[in-house]
Structure 1
């Protein structure tokens, strides 16, 4: 807690500088090197007050508008930027499938919103993992890093994470919801996390590296911020 403002603190041996991140839910994360003293960290947060307030004002102007789904026939869902209509079928078998331009869901599954939510998220996870495994190698080669292991799951308030030391080249996790975005924005999230293999945090060196791989990375970040607040994140209408 600094001046009445609560922060999460993440300490890393890989960091050399202090850094602040405003998460999607408005929480603040202070990232610090192991050797950083508490007094230095508090001073850094106080000196960043104007930056924090500007980021929070920007967030207030772009409040999330995540939709709620009812899993009804004809409801739309996005995958890699394209819109697909839900078609309820009565054939059993695989709970959710993408066939001939329609996202097909078993009627028995759709009748139970919690189960429908679970099965549709599982579909995004499986489809997203297959797609991202095909994209990872070209991006890793472009950024001159070793491919990390990849999982697709709910990673909370981030679109992706990278953790070193889990396997030969670390572990990347992508949020299942990002696969609703157009492919070029999913590529941006992948490249964003790959850059952390070489540079921790989001300082100048990090953005220099990312900009070499994606010269228009700032524009893509703005597009992600805009579209991301309107993605379906799993909210389901209550039955009844």
Structure 2
């Protein structure tokens, strides 16, 4: 039975009578999916925020359906992980005493009255002096961006020296689904929210983007360069996918 890749669905529709929830084992994962039988000629797989959905002709057997899913199991797992990483947690209210991660460790944020500025202390803790409590999120982001730029430049210098390249220009981004990018023209962009993650995760992203100065692709040669800069990159790459789903938003 031929298969057909489909674009993800973006609108939530009420369950149809011919939709059946099922599960299938893909490697060591049990993956739920919804099987929808309809008047169609091919079996199609689609993945969106609801998970895996399979459209199949009424005459297709379950064996044919699951055989196709198994053949494309690696693709299914990869796309499910990508969707999981896009899910954004509920916005974090920046109130007195709130905690959020800084370099993987809890950071307590205190609010005080004063000119809009931030004061770091050793715990670590951060006091935001505010004219208006409504400015808390804006002042916090500005403060964390400054800390991120300082640290990212330090790590770029470290790994650029290892790679034997000049320090590229750095810009901070707030992209929803990308942690970094590299351009031979404009340099490297790193997502400022990486500052929430442990240093070894930041180092992996920095090494990854710097490696693109040698190879602007994801070929075996590219990953070899990443491995020279950061040998344990495979484990950290998987860790980053998990952390992405937990990254605070405010």
**TM-score, with structure 1 as normaliser:** 0.69
Question: What is the correspondence of 1:81-120 to structure 2 with a 5 Å cutoff?
Answer: 81-94=104-117, 96-100=118-122, 101-109=124-132, 111-112=133-134, 115-120=135-140
- 2:216: which partner in 1? 200
The reply to whether residue 54 of structure 1 matches residue 68 of structure 2 is no
- 2:35: which partner in 1? none
Cα separation, partners in 2 of 1:104 and 1:180, compared to 1, 3 Å? same
Instruction: Work out which of the two has the higher radius of gyration on C-alpha atoms and give 1 or 2.
Output: 2
8 Å Cα contact 2:116/2:131 also seen in 1: no
Choose which of 191, 200, 203 in structure 2 pairs with 1:187.
203
Take 1:164 and 1:108, find their aligned partners in 2: how far apart are those partners? Answer: 42
The reply to whether residue 128 of structure 1 matches residue 148 of structure 2 is yes
- 2:234: which partner in 1? 218
Runs of 4+ residues over 6 Å off in structure 1: none
The reply to whether residue 78 of structure 1 matches residue 80 of structure 2 is no
TM-fit CA distance, 1:154: 1.2
Take 2:119 and 2:98, find their aligned partners in 1: how far apart are those partners? Answer: 15
Cα separation, partners in 2 of 1:107 and 1:216, compared to 1, 3 Å? same
Larger relative contact order (C-alpha < 8 A, sep ≥ 6)? 1
TM-fit CA distance, 1:160: 0.9
Q: Secondary structure at the match of 1:155?
A: coil
Question: What is the correspondence of 1:147-186 to structure 2 with a 5 Å cutoff?
Answer: 147-166=167-186, 171-186=187-202
Take 1:62 and 1:179, find their aligned partners in 2: how far apart are those partners? Answer: 17
TM-fit CA distance, 1:67: 4.4
- 2:244: which partner in 1? 228
TM-fit CA distance, 1:133: 1.6
Q: Secondary structure at the match of 2:115?
A: coil
Cα separation, partners in 2 of 1:177 and 1:4, compared to 1, 3 Å? same
8 Å Cα contact 1:159/1:189 also seen in 2: yes
TM-fit CA distance, 1:60: 5.5
Aligned residue-pair number: 186
